[in-house]
């Protein structure tokens, strides 16, 4: 079952018709020749998909980025890494499932992995707290980065969160401080950090693990200082204006590349990452491999300096 | 608030060399309801004399009280591109900036200054809340970086006075990028072996608390300040529960281990000076009173009087830091 977004209605209708026809032709073999009709509809549906996805608005991109069937952190871990060995806990308070961490091999090379995970059904969404991490999630990330640094292993982070969790306990345990320390740790490492925003890059909750030597975004991912809904309720006092804020705030991968905030865009298959997960994984793997290659043989001080200079240059190079 | 009050009146006052006179000579204390004469509040660093309520204070007035003899030098802020997003909400962002510049006589929300604190050279980086809620954008980010660079050049400590609602939404992702950018500056200061003191004032939230404002060597909070990451309203809407009493206040953070101390505004100067002398192994100033008079009262009585520390009475003597 594909779940369609509101603006995908024309595609949903066509694909529904195709499905119906296929059912009929399967039941009554040879009775009616549906092949031509199916081919015609498939062509139309394909055209509609091309047409819609060629000019997605920022708000539509936000919906694609949050699509329930979009591949999440764990999908990437499964597809891109071998020997994945999850490590849990911040050694301080608890284990936060909103951020999955561990060590694994990427194309045979040992690396650290830090991935935000939203969950993909009610049960797992609750387990992963919809990808909204608490302080212990960021403190666990710090712990993993320290380990990676000690053993000289690159860090790969996969960013996908609507933001850090706003709760009483999270505040009491120092959400702000935990995010600040995680960003600080990213900046301190002698090993390369490669980040990919695979869905939503939600503000401080994202930057805490995305202060990387190389930052990439998926074609339809978004990355912003505040969610369009929250931005609308503050700037317009009307969360229904989220669509306008999404446009005004420039949250798409294409915008961020133009502002030189990110280093590159990973192409998604037509109709979004969820329509062909394998294709996305191939692209993501290529991207990570190339990025890692750039840092081969470089010494720690140089890697650290590159990361700092890159961030200091943001905004000065416009 | 309109064009006249925000733009025309300050300009007229500037031309006539007139100080913006307070519209109301009497100030009502938000805590006790007491009416207090404006000048009494002003002379008391905008702390209501009887209730001890800490009002907001402008960056410049704060510095006048903070530096020796009220003398300091303001650093010029770096120039940055304005409004790269061409942002518009209910107003155009460029217009909003213009209005705020006229209203506050400031370039943006950050001021850096240098001067002497009890004879020691220090750099201060201050948020001015009156400029768009002290929000952090590209101009503020670059100003903060300059403050840290200046401290490194002068080989002296940096003191941050935070007062900000967080990142400036009108600059979108470029405001979020100020979190790692300012963190680079903090790192450079730390690597230079220089102390970084953070004073958290009302309010310090969002992206500012989630970066340089929570990375101090010492965190000092002004009484009653709201300090946190997410706004109280957002939390209430998310969890659909009432928030505990005093949630996200300076005293609450002290209780939860997120700040080192809660210090009234009038005590900031001696407290920070004492810390800096300790950190930099500086000798006691010749003019100071005896060190025992200067040091903090660490008795539980003093503690409970200030913060109503509920656990204070159950603490045993062994909890006290070793004396002497």
Q: What is the pLDDT of residue B13?
A: 61
Compute the distance between CA of residue B184 and CA of residue B169 in angstroms, rounded to an integer.
Answer: 21
Specify the 3-state DSSP secondary structure of A314.
coil
**CB-CB under 8 Å, B256 with A188:** no
Residue B216: C-alpha distances to residues A88, B210, B211, B272 (Å): 28, 12, 10, 13
Name the nearest CA neighbour of A103 among A89, A86, A120. Answer: A86
Contact at 8 Å (CB) between B191 and B155?
no
DSSP state of A118: -
Residue B307: C-alpha distances to residues B60, B232, B254, B264, B311 (Å): 29, 22, 9, 11, 11
Q: pTM of the entire structure?
A: 0.90
Q: With beta carbons under 8 A apart, name residues in chain A contacting B173.
A: 223-225, 249-251, 255-256, 259, 261
Q: With beta carbons under 8 A apart, name residues in chain A contacting B247.
A: 168, 171
Q: What is the pLDDT of residue B323?
A: 37
Residue A52: C-alpha distances to residues A4, A255, A266, B229 (Å): 13, 19, 19, 38
Name the nearest CA neighbour of A118 among A163, A152, A61, A154. Answer: A163
Q: How far is A108 from chain B (nearest CA, A)?
A: 31
**CB-CB under 8 Å, B167 with A226:** yes
**CB-CB under 8 Å, B243 with A168:** yes
Q: How far is A57 from chain B (nearest CA, A)?
A: 16
- Residue ranges and CATH numbers for the domains of chain B are 27-56 (no CATH), 57-280 (3.90.226.10)
Tell me whether 0.90 is exceeded by the ipTM: yes
Question: Dmax over Cα atoms in chain B, in whole Å?
Answer: 63
Q: What is the pLDDT of residue B324?
A: 32
Q: Which of residues 195-224 of A touch B (CB under 8 A)?
A: 203-204, 207-208, 211, 223-224
In chain A, the DSSP E strands lie at 81-86, 99-106, 109-116, 155-161, 193-202, 214-218, 222-224, 264-266
> Which is the CATH superfamily of the domain at A63-313?
2-enoyl-CoA Hydratase; Chain A, domain 1 (3.90.226.10)
Q: What is the pLDDT of residue B285?
A: 80
**CB-CB under 8 Å, B173 with A225:** yes
Specify the 3-state DSSP secondary structure of A110.
strand
* Strand-pair partners of B120: B117
Residue B5: both structure tokens together? 């009050």
Q: With beta carbons under 8 A apart, name residues in chain B contacting A172.
A: 252, 256
Q: What is the pLDDT of residue A236?
A: 84
Residues in Cβ contact with A134 at an 8 Å cutoff, skipping those fewer than 6 apart: A94, A96, A98, A164, A165, A167, A169, A170, A173, A175
Nearest chain A residue to B82, by CA? A315
Q: What is the pLDDT of residue B296?
A: 66
Nearest chain B residue to A224, by CA? B173
Instruction: Determine which of B91, B172, B200 to mutate to test the interface with A (most A C-beta atoms within 10 Å).
Output: B172
Instruction: Determine which of B180, B233, B245, B259 to mutate to test the interface with A (most A C-beta atoms within 10 Å).
Output: B180
Contact at 8 Å (CB) between B221 and B249?
no
**CB-CB under 8 Å, A308 with B215:** no
Q: What is the pLDDT of residue A136?
A: 98
Name the nearest CA neighbour of A141 among A170, A171, A169, A113. Answer: A113
Q: Which residue positions in chain B have pLDDT lower than 70?
A: 1-23, 287-297, 299, 301-324
Name the nearest CA neighbour of B134 among B73, B61, B58. Answer: B58
Q: With beta carbons under 8 A apart, name residues in chain A contacting B184.
A: 187, 308, 311-312
Compute the distance between CA of residue B153 and CA of residue A82 in angstroms, rounded to an integer.
Answer: 48
**CB-CB under 8 Å, B206 with A187:** no
Q: What is the pLDDT of residue B15?
A: 60
Nearest to B175 among A166, A225, A236 (CB): A225
**Strand ranges across the sheet with B261-262:** B72-74, B110-117, B120-127, B158-164, B196-204, B218-221, B261-262
Residue A66: both structure tokens together? 């949050």
Q: Tens place of pLDDT for every residue, chain A, 318 residues?
A: 578 999 999 999 999 999 888 888 777 766 567 788 888 999 999 999 999 999 999 999 999 999 999 999 999 999 999 999 999 999 999 999 999 999 999 999 999 999 999 999 999 999 999 999 999 999 999 999 999 999 999 999 999 999 999 999 999 999 999 999 999 999 999 999 999 999 999 999 999 999 999 999 999 999 999 999 888 888 888 878 899 999 999 999 999 999 999 999 999 999 999 999 999 999 999 999 999 999 999 999 999 999 999 999 999 988
Q: Is B166 left (phi over 0), alpha (psi -120 to 50) or beta?
A: left
């Amino acid at each position: 079952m594909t779940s369609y977004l509101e603006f995908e209605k024309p595609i949903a209708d066509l694909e529904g018709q195709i499905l119906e026809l296929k059912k009929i032709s399967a039941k009554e073999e040879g009775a009616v020749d549906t092949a031509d009709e199916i081919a015609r509809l498939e062509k139309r549906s394909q055209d509609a998909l091309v047409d819609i996805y060629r000019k997605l608005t920022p708000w539509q991109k936000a919906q694609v980025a949050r699509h329930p069937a979009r591949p999440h952190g764990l999908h990437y871990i499964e597809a891109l890494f071998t020997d994945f060995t999850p490590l849990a806990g911040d050694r301080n308070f608890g284990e936060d499932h909103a951020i999955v961490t561990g060590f694994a091999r990427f194309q045979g090379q040992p690396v650290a992995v830090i991935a935000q995970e939203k969950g993909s059904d009610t049960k797992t969404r609750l387990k992963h707290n919809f990808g909204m991490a608490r302080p212990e999630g960021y403190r666990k990330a710090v712990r993993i980065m320290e380990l990676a640094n000690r053993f000289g292993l690159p860090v790969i982070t996969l960013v996908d969160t609507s933001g850090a969790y706003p709760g009483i306990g999270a505040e009491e345990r120092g959400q702000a401080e935990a995010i600040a320390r995680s960003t600080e740790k990213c900046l301190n490492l002698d090993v390369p950090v490669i980040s990919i925003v695979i869905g939503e890059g939600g503000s401080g909750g994202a930057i805490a693990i995305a202060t990387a030597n190389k930052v990439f975004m998926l074609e339809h991912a978004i990355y912003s200082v505040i969610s369009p809904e929250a931005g609308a309720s503050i700037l317009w006092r009307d969360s229904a204006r989220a669509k306008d804020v999404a446009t005004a705030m420039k949250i798409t991968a294409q915008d961020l590349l133009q502002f030189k905030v990110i280093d590159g865009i990973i192409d998604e298959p037509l109709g979004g990452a969820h329509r062909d997960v394998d294709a996305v994984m191939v692209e993501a793997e290529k991207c990570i491999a190339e990025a890692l290659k750039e840092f081969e043989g470089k010494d720690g001080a140089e890697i650290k300096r590159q990361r700092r200079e890159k961030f200091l240059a943001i905004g000065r190079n416009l | 608030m309109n064009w006249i009050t925000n733009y025309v009146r300050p300009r007229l006052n500037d031309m006539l060399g007139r100080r913006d006179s307070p519209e109301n000579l009497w100030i009502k204390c938000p805590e006790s309801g007491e009416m207090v004469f404006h000048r009494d509040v002003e002379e008391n660093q905008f702390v209501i004399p009887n209730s001890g309520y800490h009002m907001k204070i402008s960056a410049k007035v704060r510095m006048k009280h903070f530096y020796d003899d009220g003398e300091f030098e303001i650093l010029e802020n770096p120039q940055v591109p304005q409004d790269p997003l061409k942002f518009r909400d209910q107003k155009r962002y460029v217009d909003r900036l213009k209005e705020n510049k006229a209203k506050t006589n400031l370039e943006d929300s950050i001021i850096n200054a240098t001067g002497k604190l009890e004879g020691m050279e220090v750099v201060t980086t201050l948020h001015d809340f009156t400029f768009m809620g002290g929000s952090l954008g590209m101009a503020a980010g670059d100003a903060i970086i300059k403050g840290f660079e200046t401290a490194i050049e002068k080989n002296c400590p940096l003191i941050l006075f935070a007062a900000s609602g967080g990142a400036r939404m009108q600059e979108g992702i470029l405001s979020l990028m100020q979190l790692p950018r300012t963190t680079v500056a903090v790192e450079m200061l730390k690597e230079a072996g220089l102390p970084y003191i953070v004073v958290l004032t009302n309010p310090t939230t969002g992206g500012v608390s989630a970066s340089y404002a929570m990375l101090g060597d010492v965190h000092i909070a002004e009484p009653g300040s709201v300090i946190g990451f997410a706004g109280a309203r957002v939390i209430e809407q998310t969890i659909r529960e009432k928030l505990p009493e005093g949630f996200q206040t300076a005293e609450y953070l002290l209780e939860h281990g997120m700040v080192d101390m809660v210090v009234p505004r009038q005590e900031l100067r001696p407290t920070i000076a004492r810390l800096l002398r300790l950190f930099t192994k500086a000798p006691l100033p010749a003019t100071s009173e005896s060190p025992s008079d200067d040091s903090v009262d660490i008795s539980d009585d003093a503690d409970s009087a200030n913060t109503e520390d509920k656990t204070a009475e159950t603490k045993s003597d062994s909890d006290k830091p070793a004396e002497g």
